[in-house]
């Protein structure tokens, strides 16, 4: 199923997930993280249990002790900051990659692929999606190289970036949300 309503729902879920993750970052990067002291999360076969009861400990696959988060927050700021950066990468990966995939599928379903590929942001987003999918490094193929340098919103991707890590300068907070909004606008208009 790839009709407009389904894609709009997927995009809304992607946005809301990103907002929830950003909210989590805000809480984790504050003294509110102390509230996680002595908390355990259990991963069961078919559910995640927060604040488990004694009966929950009978059958579980993994137990995650949240004291490690507090320890890094209080005593290992560098590691904690690195963990938050990785979490932010997950937010961008989810927002851009998942949104791009459903918009691309919708364009194929609605026979508007040529319109999508003509959007000024499309190739920029496609190359970013590929970098996000490949360990946050640019890996250009022959076709990509024919498009480079590629500029969108005053950010340029160039061939010299091959094998380089995708930086926050290229995929900033603003660029991430700008691309997401362009994808939403495309679906709404087609």
User: Could you tell me if residue 31 is inside a domain?
Assistant: yes
pLDDT reported for residue 177: 96
Q: What are phi and psi of 173, to 5 degrees?
A: -55, -50
Q: What angle do CA 181, 83, 72 make, to 5 degrees?
A: 140
Q: pLDDT-based confidence at 127, cuts 50/70/90?
A: very high
User: Could you tell me if residue 70 is inside a domain?
Assistant: no
User: Could you tell me if residue 55 is inside a domain?
Assistant: no
Mean pLDDT of 152-165: 97
Rounded distance between C-alpha atoms, residue 26 and residue 12, angstroms: 21
Q: pLDDT-based confidence at 138, cuts 50/70/90?
A: very high
Parent domain of 17:
4-36+76-189
Rounded distance between C-alpha atoms, residue 65 and residue 97, angstroms: 30
User: Could you tell me if residue 48 is inside a domain?
Assistant: no
Mean pLDDT of all residues belonging to the chain? 94
User: Could you tell me if residue 29 is inside a domain?
Assistant: yes
User: Could you tell me if residue 65 is inside a domain?
Assistant: no
Mean pLDDT of 21-45: 92
User: Could you tell me if residue 161 is inside a domain?
Assistant: yes
Rounded distance between C-alpha atoms, residue 154 and residue 150, angstroms: 10
Rounded distance between C-alpha atoms, residue 17 and residue 8, angstroms: 14
Mean pLDDT of 101-124: 97
pLDDT reported for residue 178: 97
User: Could you tell me if residue 62 is inside a domain?
Assistant: no
Residue position matching structure tokens 């950003």: 22
pLDDT reported for residue 137: 96
pLDDT reported for residue 120: 97
pLDDT reported for residue 174: 92
pLDDT reported for residue 168: 85
pLDDT reported for residue 134: 85
| Number of structural domains found in the chain | 1
Please determine, for residue 1, whether its predicted confidence score (pLDDT) is greater than 80.
Answer: no
Mean pLDDT of 8-15: 97
Rounded distance between C-alpha atoms, residue 135 and residue 33, angstroms: 28
Q: pLDDT-based confidence at 141, cuts 50/70/90?
A: very high
Q: pLDDT-based confidence at 2, cuts 50/70/90?
A: confident
């Amino acid at each position: 199923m790839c009709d407009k309503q389904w894609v709009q729902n997927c995009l809304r879920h992607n946005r809301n997930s990103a907002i929830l993750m950003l909210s989590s970052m805000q809480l984790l990067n504050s003294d509110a993280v102390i509230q996680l002291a002595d908390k355990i999360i259990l991963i069961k076969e078919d559910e995640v249990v927060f604040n488990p009861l004694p009966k929950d400990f009978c059958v579980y696959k993994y137990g995650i002790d949240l004291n490690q988060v507090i320890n890094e927050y209080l005593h290992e700021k560098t590691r904690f900051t690195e963990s938050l950066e990785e979490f932010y990468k997950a937010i961008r990966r989810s927002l851009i990659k998942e949104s791009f995939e459903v918009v691309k599928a919708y364009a194929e379903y609605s026979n508007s692929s040529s319109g999508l590929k003509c959007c000024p942001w499309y190739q920029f987003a496609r190359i970013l999606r590929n970098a996000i999918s490949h360990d946050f490094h640019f890996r250009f193929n022959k076709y990509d190289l024919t498009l480079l340098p590629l500029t969108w919103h005053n950010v340029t991707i160039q061939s010299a970036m091959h094998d380089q890590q995708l930086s926050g300068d290229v995929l900033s907070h603003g660029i991430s949300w700008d691309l997401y909004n362009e994808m939403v606008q495309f679906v709404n208009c087609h």
